[in-house]
Amino acid sequence: MRYPRPKPPAGGIKANYPGFIEPALATSSGKVPAGERWVHEIKFDGYRVQVHLRDATVKVFTRRGNDWSNRFRKIAADAWNINAGSAIIDGEVVVPAVDGTTDFSVLQNELKGRSKKIVMVTFDLLYLNGYDVRKLPLFERKALLKKIIDKTDIQFSESFEVNGGEMYKHACRLALRASSRRSATVGTSRVVSTIG
């Protein structure tokens, strides 16, 4: 874990380390979100987790706040190289197939063994180096996230600024789906819709 002294994130709020943060979960919708205020993301089929970096320690929590650092040792080891002194990162632990798709049953089987094929795919940053960044727009949080996981084995989930209908067609072919408001802040329904 490297300890940079970057500029504080513009718009971040100086704050004590908050500990586990209740995740914003996807809600189902019967129609595809449309318009420029939406970006689209892949919804992975795995375990939702938060990685916590603090005081030279890495912890991996489930979406219910259970400490699974021992079960996800590989993820904790990968997260050790994140370029931050303290951070809370939201993501999904998956086992990616050759075509990039994920399957929860494959992940469960992998966890019965040594879990060498699991990876964390990150999609949000909630806290960084003494600043609560949840009030920043999603695209700003993702830009910060992408920087701090660069040159690690942690993967980054891109957002797509495309027509919702087109994204839906492509996602259906690959069994992938999710949309978020472009300017969403955490706690205001970051991921507001999944299809399928």
Query: How far apart are the C-alpha atoms of 149 and 156, rounded to whole Å?
Result: 8
Does pTM surpass 0.85? Answer: no
Q: Please, which pLDDT band fits residue 32 given cuts at 50, 70 and 90?
A: confident
* Domain limits, the chain: 25-43+160-196, 45-156
Q: Please, which pLDDT band fits residue 108 given cuts at 50, 70 and 90?
A: confident
7 is catalytic: no
Mean pLDDT of 2-30: 76
Span 141-177, pLDDT tens digits: 999 999 999 999 999 887 666 666 676 676 666 655 5
Q: Which of 31, 43, 116, 135 is catalytic?
A: 43
Mean pLDDT of 10-38: 80
Q: Give the residue ranges of DSSP H helices in 13-161.
A: 73-79, 104-111, 138-149
Q: Identify whether the C-beta of residue 29 lies closer than 8 Å to the C-beta of residue 193.
A: yes
Task: Tell me the CATH number of domain 45-156, given options 3.40.50.1220, 3.30.470.30, 3.40.50.880, 3.90.50.10.
Answer: 3.30.470.30
